[in-house]
Amino acid sequence: MRVTAPGGTIVFQLPASVGWQVRLHPFRLLNRALRAFPVAPRWALRRLMGYSMRLMSLPEDEVRSILGVCGASIEVAFSDNRMGTDVVPSLTYVARRAATS
């Protein structure tokens, strides 16, 4: 919202939650285990990183709270299937920054 003009609108999409299938995926667990070592084996991380990414999510009430602190409000929030799976449900948001006087 920092770069949005007063009264301006932004549209963005975020995962609403991450299912257990993603959290317990073998590559993700292996990546986490390797990073727990004081010095992770570089060759293992290089091989593994091609198959691993960090997926973050925010529940809708937390998104509303964060935007409220920034002086914005959500006009519309609707469920979509842009993540391509039901394992990671996502929401598209339309938010408006408050107009200043």
Residue ranges per domain, the chain? Answer: 1-18+55-101, 21-54
Tens of pLDDT, residues 7-51 = 999 999 888 767 666 666 666 777 777 777 777 677 776 666 665
| DSSP reduced 3-state for 40 | coil
Residues 75, 96 contacting (CB under 8 angstroms): yes
Tell me: pLDDT of 101 over 60: no
- Residue that is written with structure tokens 């799976």 in the block: 85
Instruction: Say what the pTM is.
Output: 0.63
